[in-house]
């Protein structure tokens, strides 16, 4: 009897230089496991930006350390479910995450959300360049922030040129290093750097708690547009369980750890910038920890450009149907995106970077309806059954160029979030009435997912009815 392992053999030595781009990964080239995904996602959050985000709980939202941790855990646990469900699609379909949007929106209709995801990935790349360079500058003042940005971009470029295998190695490596340092730092600060008054500070507020819960949930959901980019190499036999739990466990655990560290730093050093406070609280070891964070940020940032590259190539194929990019196109696009990110990061060291981050948050609101539509279509409507080669058909295959129903639901999903939105540029009336609690992401998920399910199932029923009538007419004719 043929076993599942024999049916989907794993290559003993996958090449260091990645040869695949946006095309479906052949079964013979599949490798890895849910455990490997756990390592990747454990490392993806080991960044200064995650620590800074966690500090919001105690510094900006005024929560006590205990309530901050509850909000951080609850938000990540909830948002991680929606994010990790996308990982299930990778082993089944074998293509990048946003290319799958063609199954819901059509070949050209999907270009809109692909472009939005591309901008978001570049934005994350830019943010991590600046934050990492600032950490390096604090350790080595002679290295300016601009020089740090250039060095970080060079490290990222050197890794991302080779592709996913080398990116995965460095992300997993830093998961171990930064994870150990973060645990040691949290224990050290909690036992030596927190006074009784600091622990007694803050408290509970409905606005603060649910705002931080939303931050944790949206943090996880922001990863949804590239989850399958990492899981698409898994053998089909790995199944949904390994892809889901490897992604979910790694991402939630690392985000809770790093955000929790940020919350602790916010309590122990409330007046300092979080990474500066971390360095000061750790005394002589502070410089070493900040240097490790800077190096980790530069290395793991290659993952953002990798996913941006896949989206850029997907856009290119949209306007050049049937084109399958090769290694040269992958490398050229990777270099171009690094140059763009480098220029934006250097120009955005000041106030512009803050505005750019606000713009990225708005993009996340725009991507929430896509996530809902994609998950409902995959799990409830089509139940994982797609014709992958039709994604690349010049005419869009069975998915066509445009799916106007999905696009209309997507627009509704964006509009319905506006009254709930909380940004530096605009706060919706419902959010104001709720005291500034951000529930936009929840409204977008529920309305988009529910409406799409109703319309898609009605369409499926009509299609099934038409097929049945045709079969009946054919039988009558033959008789």
The reported pTM is 0.86
Task: List the CATH number of the domain containing 239.
Answer: 1.10.4160.10
Q: What is the DSSP letter of 10?
A: P
Q: Which residue has the higher pLDDT, 413 or 356?
A: 413
Q: pLDDT digit string (tens) for 29-45? A: 888 788 889 999 999 99
Q: pLDDT digit string (tens) for 22-81? A: 888 888 888 878 888 999 999 999 988 899 889 999 988 889 999 999 999 999 999 999
In a domain, 82, yes or no: yes
| Structural domains counted in the chain | 1
Average pLDDT over residues 126-152: 90
Q: What sign has the CA pseudo-torsion 3, 21, 370, 362?
A: positive
Mean pLDDT of the chain: 86
Q: pLDDT digit string (tens) for 1-11? A: 333 333 444 44
The distance of Cα 184 from the centroid of its chain, to the nearest Å, equals: 27
In a domain, 272, yes or no: yes
In a domain, 135, yes or no: yes
In a domain, 192, yes or no: yes
Domain extent for 308: 34-358
Q: pLDDT digit string (tens) for 198-211? A: 666 778 888 889 88
Res 355: pLDDT? 64
Integer CA distances (angstroms), 302 to 44, 295, 298, 412, 417, in order: 10, 12, 7, 34, 32
207/192 Cα distance (integer angstroms): 30
Q: What is the DSSP letter of 16?
A: S
Place of tokens 């043929």: 2
In a domain, 433, yes or no: no
pLDDT reading at 357 higher than 70: no
Res 114: pLDDT? 92
At residue 246 the predicted structure's pLDDT band, cuts being 50, 70 and 90, is: very high
What are the start-end ranges of the H helices in 236-350? 239-268, 274-281, 286-300, 302-318, 327-347
**Burial degree of 434 (CB within 10 A; 0-12, 13-18, 19+):** middle
In a domain, 52, yes or no: yes
| Selection from 16-20, 32-36, 171-175 with the highest mean pLDDT | 171-175
Rg from Cα positions in the chain = 23
In a domain, 268, yes or no: yes
In a domain, 290, yes or no: yes
Res 173: pLDDT? 93
């Amino acid at each position: 009897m043929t076993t599942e392992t024999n049916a989907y053999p794993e290559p003993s030595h996958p090449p260091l230089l990645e040869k695949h781009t946006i095309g479906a990964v052949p079964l013979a080239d599949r490798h890895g496991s849910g455990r490997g995904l756990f390592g990747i996602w454990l490392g993806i959050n080991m960044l200064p930006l995650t620590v800074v985000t966690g500090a919001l709980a105690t510094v900006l939202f005024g929560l006590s350390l205990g309530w901050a941790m509850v909000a951080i855990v609850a938000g990540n646990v909830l948002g991680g479910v929606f994010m990790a469900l996308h990982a299930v699609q990778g082993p089944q379909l074998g293509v990048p995450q946003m290319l799958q949007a063609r199954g819901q929106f059509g070949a050209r209709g999907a270009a809109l959300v692909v472009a939005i995801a591309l901008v978001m990935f570049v934005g994350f790349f830019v943010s991590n360049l600046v934050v990492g360079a600032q950490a390096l500058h604090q350790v080595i003042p002679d290295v300016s922030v601009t020089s740090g940005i250039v060095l970080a971009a060079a490290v990222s470029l050197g890794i991302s040129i080779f592709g996913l295998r080398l990116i995965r190695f460095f992300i997993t490596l830093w998961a171990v290093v930064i994870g150990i340092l973060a645990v040691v730092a949290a224990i050290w600060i909690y036992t030596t750097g927190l006074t009784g008054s600091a622990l007694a500070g803050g408290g509970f507020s409905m606005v603060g708690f649910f705002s931080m819960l939303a931050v944790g949930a949206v943090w996880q959901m922001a990863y949804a547009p590239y989850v399958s980019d990492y899981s698409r190499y898994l053998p089909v036999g790995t199944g949904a369980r390994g892809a889901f739990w490897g992604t979910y466990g790694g991402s939630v655990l690392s985000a809770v750890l790093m955000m929790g560290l940020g919350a602790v730093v916010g309590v122990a050093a409330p007046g300092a910038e979080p990474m500066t406070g971390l360095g000061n609280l750790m005394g002589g070891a502070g410089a070493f920890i900040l240097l490790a964070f800077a190096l980790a940020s530069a290395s793991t940032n290659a993952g953002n450009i990798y996913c941006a590259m896949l989206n850029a190539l997907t856009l290119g194929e949209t306007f050049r149907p049937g084109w399958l990019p090769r290694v040269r196109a992958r490398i050229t696009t990777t270099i171009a995106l690094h140059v763009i990110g480098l220029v934006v990061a250097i120009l955005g060291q000041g106030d512009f970077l803050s505005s750019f981050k606000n713009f990225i948050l708005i993009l996340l609101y725009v991507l929430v309806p896509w996530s809902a539509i994609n998950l409902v279509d995959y799990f409830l409507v089509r139940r994982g059954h797609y014709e992958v080669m039709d994604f690349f058909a010049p005419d869009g295959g069975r998915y066509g160029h445009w799916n106007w129903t999905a696009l209309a639901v997507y627009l509704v999903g964006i509009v319905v979030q506006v009254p709930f939105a909380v940004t530096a540029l605009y706060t919706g009336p419902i959010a104001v009435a709720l005291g500034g609690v951000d529930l936009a992401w929840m409204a977008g998920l529920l309305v988009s997912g529910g409406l799409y399910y109703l319309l898609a199932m009605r369409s499926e029923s009509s299609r099934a009815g038409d097929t049945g009538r045709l079969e009946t007419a054919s039988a009558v004719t033959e008789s």
